């Protein structure tokens, strides 16, 4: 029988696709890992399923117990689906600025929604979720806090990348968005173990700029999950470049990525321009569907033109 036992079997093992036409440098190969291929359409299926399974196994989460979490989108959607599948009522605390498509998805999957004021952001949504957990006894998923988050990326995301590029010479750089920091911390650690010369770059929005799924460390909240020691640098990206590069991925390579994928592509192309050779892996954390209601897909300002040499690399912070 070739059928999967459950949708749980579809998590991970996402494809890696070379972006042949987008590398600005013939010696550097860019590869995108398409996390939109997960069952709810994002990388968050990996960590949510893992946290739920380990909490059930340890007894921290009882059968039928309610679950609460703070999320700006993808984690909430993944939790709404897997929580329900495993028999748990789910409530997600979202900042009011969340895209309407995300609330619609949460409702489709049967989750409850608690809105927190727009200005308060994810930091305060996390506090609200913790309060609800204390008051009602609901299990707090804790994507920003759980060691299972980075561990999942260490054991699955990075292992898949290493296997896929073993014959192509391995991995020389990883570029991934930073929300909780789980992807860069877990996958980054494993890739550095495999090749200590592999560089790890986190992509974050400029302070005050909203890039869905990503957060600025400059806002004063450093997620406990984030291991800054793994990072070789962080690359700040604005919305304009994130949007224009999501469009480029679609037009040049037929890849329908989300806003953070556009930000990561922009950062990866910048990086590739500075390297002489090597394989660069870009994590495309979700797909473009949820952002159809935004300006993302509207060509507006000529920004789709190659921007080589346009801005100096002053948006790459090295350390
Ligand atoms: C669309 C999107 N991109 C990137 C990220 C960042 O991933 P991580 O939380 O592992 O840092 C997230 C989640 O936070 C996300 O939803």
Q: Does residue 98 fall inside a structural domain?
A: yes
Residues 161 and 18 in one domain: yes
pLDDT in tens, 189-228: 999 999 999 999 999 988 777 787 888 877 778 899 999 9
Per-residue pLDDT at 283 = 98
206 and 280 fall within a common domain: yes
The pLDDT score that the predictor gives to residue 200 is 98
Q: Ligand 1 pocket check: which of 177, 215, 262, 291 to mutate, most ligand atoms within 8 Å of Cβ? A: 177
What is the pLDDT confidence band of residue 279, given thresholds at 50, 70 and 90? very high
Q: Let me know whether 180 and 252 are in one domain.
A: yes
Among 106, 140, 174, the domain boundary falls at 140
Note whether 48 and 193 are same-domain residues: no
Residue 59 domain-assigned? yes
Residue 151 lies in a domain: no
Rounded mean pLDDT of the chain?
Answer: 91
Residues 76 and 223 in one domain: no
Report the percentage of the chain scoring pLDDT > 90.
Answer: 77
Q: Give a yes or no: residue 149 inside a domain.
A: no
- Do 31 and 49 belong together in one domain? no
> Is residue 83 domain-resident?
yes
Answer whether residue 56 is part of any domain. Answer: yes
* Alpha-carbon span 270 to 201, nearest angstrom: 12
| Same domain membership, residue 177 and residue 102 | no
Predicted local distance difference test score (pLDDT) of residue 306: 45
Last residue of a domain, one of 92, 109, 140: 140
| 148 found inside a domain | no
* pLDDT of res. 11: 98
The pLDDT tens digits of the residues spanning 19-50 come to: 999 999 999 999 999 999 999 999 999 999 99
- Picking from 88, 116, 140, the residue at the C-terminal end of a domain is 140
Q: Based on the structure, what is the number of domains in the chain? A: 2
pLDDT at 230: 97
What is the CATH number for 66?
3.40.50.1100
Q: Do both 23 and 162 map to the same domain?
A: yes
Q: Is the dihedral of CA 305, 250, 182, 179 positive or negative?
A: positive
Question: 297 is in which domain, residue-wise?
Answer: 7-37+156-318
309: pLDDT confidence band, cut at 50, 70 and 90? Answer: very low
Mutate to test the pocket of ligand 1, among 14, 35, 44, 202 (most ligand atoms within 8 A of CB): 44
Same domain, 134 and 55: yes
Determine the residue of 70, 210, 285 to mutate for testing ligand 1's pocket, defined as the one with the most ligand atoms within 8 A of the Cβ atom: 285
Task: Answer yes or no: do 291 and 165 share one domain.
Answer: yes
Ligand 1 centroid vs 41 CA: distance in angstroms? Answer: 12
Residues 31 and 52 in one domain: no
Report which protein residue has its CA nearest ligand 1's atom 16.
213
Is 301 a residue whose pLDDT tops 90?
no
227-274 confidence digits (pLDDT tens): 999 999 999 998 889 999 999 999 999 999 999 999 999 999 999 999
Does any ligand 1 atom lie closer than 6 A to the CB of residue 157?
no
Assigned domain for 132 exists: yes
Q: What is the mean pLDDT of residues 129-147?
A: 96
Closest ligand 1 atom, residue 182 Cα: 10
- Tell me: do 130 and 75 sit in the same domain: yes
Predicted pLDDT of residue 284:
98
Strand pairing report for 90-95 and 112-116: parallel
214 lines ligand 1 (CB under 6 A): yes
């Amino acid at each position: 029988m070739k059928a999967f036992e459950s949708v749980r079997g579809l998590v991970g093992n996402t494809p890696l696709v070379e972006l042949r036409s987008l590398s600005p440098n013939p010696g550097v190969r860019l590869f995108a890992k398409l996390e939109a291929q997960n069952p709810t359409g994002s990388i968050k299926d990996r960590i949510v399923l893992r946290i739920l399974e380990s909490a059930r196994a340890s007894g921290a989460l009882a059968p039928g117990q309610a679950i609460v979490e703070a999320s700006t989108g993808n984690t909430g959607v993944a939790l709404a689906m897997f929580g329900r599948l495993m028999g748990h009522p789910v409530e997600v605390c979202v900042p009011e600025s969340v895209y309407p498509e995300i609330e619609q998805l949460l409702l489709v999957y049967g989750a409850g929604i608690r809105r927190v004021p727009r200005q308060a952001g994810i930091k305060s949504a996390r506090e609200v979720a913790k309060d609800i957990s204390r008051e009602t006894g609901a299990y707090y998923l804790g994507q920003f806090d759980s060691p299972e988050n980075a561990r999942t990326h260490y054991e699955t995301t990075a292992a898949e990348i290493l296997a896929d590029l073993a014959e192509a010479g391995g991995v020389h750089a990883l570029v991934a968005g930073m929300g909780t920091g789980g992807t860069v911390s877990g996958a980054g650690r494993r890739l550095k173990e495999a090749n200590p010369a592999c560089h790890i770059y986190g992509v974050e929005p400029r302070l005050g700029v909203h890039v869905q799924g990503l957060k600025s460390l400059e806002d004063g909240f450093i997620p406990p999950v984030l291991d800054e020691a793994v990072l070789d640098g962080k690359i700040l990206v604005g919305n304009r470049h994130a949007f224009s590069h999501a469009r480029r991925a679609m037009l040049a390579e037929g890849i329908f990525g989300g806003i953070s994928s556009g930000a990561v592509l922009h950062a990866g192309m910048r990086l590739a321009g500075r390297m002489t050779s090597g394989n660069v892996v870009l994590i495309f954390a979700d797909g473009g569907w949820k952002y159809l209601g935004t300006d993302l897909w509207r060509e507006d300002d000529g920004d789709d033109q190659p921007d080589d040499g346009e801005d100096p690399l002053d948006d790459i912070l090295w350390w």
